[in-house]
Amino acid sequence: MSFLSVWSIAIAAGLTVPPLVLLYFLKLRRQEKPVSSTIFWKRAIEDLQVNAPFQKLRRNLLLFLQLLVLLLCAVALGRPLWQQSENLNKSLILLVDRSASMNVREPDGRTRLERAKDEALKAVARMNDEGYDRGLLIAFNDRASVICPFTRSQPQLERAIDSITSSEGLSRLQEAMALAQAHAQSELMGRDAPPNSPISTAPAAKIVLFSDGQIEDVASVSSDKMQMELINVAVNNDNVGVVSLSASRYYERPEILNVVAGVQNFGPDPVELDVELFVEGQHKDIKSIKLGPGVAPANAENFNAEDSLQIVSFDEVEFAGSGIIDVQIGRLDGLSVDNRAWAIIEPPRSVTALLVSPGNLWLDRAMHAMDWVEFEKISPEEYEQQQDDLNPAGRSRHDVVIFDGWRPGTLPLGNFLFFGVVPNLPGFGQGPTIEDDDVFNWDDTHPVMRFIEPQNIAIAQYQQLQLPIHAVSLMDGQGGTVVAAVNEQGRRMILVAFGLFDAERKYINTDWPMREHFVYFLSNAVQYLSGSVEAEVEARLRPGDPLVVSAQPNTDSIDISRPDQVTDQLTVGKLSTAHYGKTDRVGIYQAIPTAEGSTLYAVNLFSPTESRIQPAANFAIGGAAVESRDVVLPVTRPLWSWLLVAVLAVLFLEWAVYSRRILV
């Protein structure tokens, strides 16, 4: 046994034990009384013997009990610790969630992240008592980082926990679990082991996750059979958020701006609130809406989750310039990060399009039908000869380039529509030939697919598309994706797997050009690729997604202004594009200088998982339930009344013992 404060024992004992013993040595004051008989002399002699210094302490149970109480109190003040020999060979892995929902402020006044850090500190303090000899700390949102590698130093772990800062990013656990599992495994291999059979000598490890349980990829994460526990730090469940935003211009009236936002209630109670629209900081419109509860109440019979979501269409705004669209909800709730959303709108302008084709009557006629597009067409041979003029500084001077059955050897930066071919870029390819296919599924929520119902479009043949993992399928045939959208490396692309003619360009390959919505498709594709009508709502840009910045020629660096008023410098060097990844805050990012002079980017949360802030009821990883423990809110209660009762009880006991002993 050891003590954290030995001096406390000595001081307490020194101040209380000697006075108690001295009280028992005090000499009694006796009064002389005449008596009528000597029978009382025997009792008086016994009384004198009892009050003699050492006779007085003999067989005095009350004194020994009082001394024992004082000594135990003194020992307790010394904060004793029991130490024993034990082989500590277990590892503790702490995963701290620092995503957007961890910014929710709970009823005790602390944010979820602050509560998570406090619970992590308590776990570190209990490490040795629970048999853990080392600890590892990982903080994560959409990305994970090791804040403190395995260490036996509790102060080092505590300092690392204190250093964790909040973010507004999404919560994804896969990378954090991969880091935890990698650090928990040993790379040692036995000498006599057969080849390729590593022997793990890693000690037993336990993962403790400090989170609210609202994690996007939890269903696809594997715990690798490691012991795991969730410390749920969530209590608050009231939140309303902006979940979508779109802004567009009518190409017949490009000076008119149309803004639509989606607002959803994630709390248990119905709400009424105002949704406001600002354009370049100027208030333009306000709408009052009512939303049903986002969580089914107990014993609810008529609950409809769709009532919690409403699409708000603002009045048309006349705005011919470029600027920032800002939508706000006028309500204080648990999470403020999703109470605003932004979009970047460009001024209306003429769109320039280039058709590179050996000859295609269908495309030629469809492009001429779009009188709002300045349209040119050249042959593949002419394109090769005019590369420098068409692509100055490695960027296409046309808003949209359409490649019909032919692709260039080098693809510049820009916006492209491919028919029957794929770009000459890593990750793209063509697979086996599919014959006599038809379209059976499409994504009618994508801007390119508006007003289009391409069911049963007949396709004579095409080659399967091999695409990067981040490609978005817009139209599917029986044999695979036939139309896809891909954004990467400063290029925005729409790929159509089939050409309008066969390889020899003698026979038509599909009946799509004969349908009315083929022109709609081309119009939507040009609008989407050029960004001339649709706002840059890069609702696709969420916290953690990199910004792709196009650099001016001979530019060494670009300044990135962040929403938190911090400016970072992005080194470009000789690259024509650069990527900026510190987008863990929602809001507007500005890059200066870029190929366009100055470029704005809107980063929005738009995550129902993060906005749904109520504590996760049943938390499971990869389908396996995880032990969950809630954090109890600390409540301060006065103890003086109970102490007073205890003092009165002791006084009554003392009176009873004293009264019994003085009876003759």
pLDDT in tens, 214-239: 898 888 887 766 788 999 999 999 99
Contact by Cβ (8 Å): 447, 258: no
Domain edges within the chain: 2-83, 90-235+616-630, 240-296+304-345+607-611, 351-530
What average pLDDT does range 48-64 have in this prediction? 54
Give percent of the chain with pLDDT exceeding 90. 46
What average pLDDT does range 59-76 have in this prediction? 60
Provide DSSP, 195-219. Answer: TT-----PPEEEEEEEE-S--TTGG
Rounded distance, CA 357 to CA 85, Å?
Answer: 82
Report the CATH fold assignment for 240-296+304-345+607-611: Immunoglobulin-like (2.60.40)
Parallel/antiparallel/unpaired status of strands 256-265 and 317-318: antiparallel
Rounded distance, CA 298 to CA 324, Å?
Answer: 42
What average pLDDT does range 312-335 have in this prediction? 92
pLDDT in tens, 76-131: 665 565 554 444 458 899 999 999 999 999 999 999 999 999 999 999 999 988 88
C-alpha torsion angle, residues 142, 146, 148, 150 (rounded to 10): 130
Instruction: Please report the sign of the dihedral spanned by the C-alpha atoms of residue 332, residue 333, residue 337, residue 339.
Output: negative
Structure tokens at 658: 């004293």
pLDDT in tens, 541-568: 889 888 888 887 778 899 999 999 999 9
Report the CATH fold assignment for 90-235+616-630: Rossmann fold (3.40.50)
Give the end-to-end CA distance of the chain in Å, rounded to a whole number. 47
> Do the two domains 240-296+304-345+607-611 and 351-530 of this chain adopt the same fold?
no
Give pLDDT, residue 114.
96
Report the CATH fold assignment for 351-530: Rossmann fold (3.40.50)
Quick one: which H or E segment has residue 558? strand 557-561
> Residue 486: is its pLDDT beyond 50?
yes
Give pLDDT, residue 539.
44
Give pLDDT, residue 41.
60
> Which has more confidence, 621 or 443?
443
Long-range contacts of 288-297 (CB under 8 A, 24+ apart): 289/263, 291/240, 291/263, 291/264, 291/265, 292/265, 293/265, 293/267, 293/268, 293/269, 294/264, 294/265, 294/266, 294/267, 294/268, 294/612, 295/237, 295/266, 295/267, 295/268, 295/614, 297/268
Give pLDDT, residue 192.
42
Rounded distance, CA 154 to CA 92, Å?
Answer: 12
3-state secondary structure 615-656: CCCCCEECCEECEEEECCCCCCCCCHHHHHHHHHHHHHHHHH
Rounded distance, CA 649 to CA 483, Å?
Answer: 85
Nearest to 236 by CA among 611, 619, 615, 630: 615
What average pLDDT does range 596-607 have in this prediction? 88
Distant-in-sequence, close-in-space partners of 295: CB < 8 Å, separation ≥ 6: 237, 266, 267, 268, 614
> Residue 187: is its pLDDT beyond 50?
no
pLDDT in tens, 285-312: 999 999 999 888 766 667 788 899 999 9
Quick one: which H or E segment has residue 94? strand 90-97
Number of Cβ atoms within 10 Å of the Cβ of 50:
13
Nearest to 530 by CA among 392, 393, 397: 397
The 204-211 sheet, strands edge to edge: 144-151, 132-140, 90-97, 204-211, 227-232, 627-630
Q: Strand, coil or helix: what is 186? A: coil
Distant-in-sequence, close-in-space partners of 651: CB < 8 Å, separation ≥ 6: none
Distant-in-sequence, close-in-space partners of 107: CB < 8 Å, separation ≥ 6: 235, 236, 633
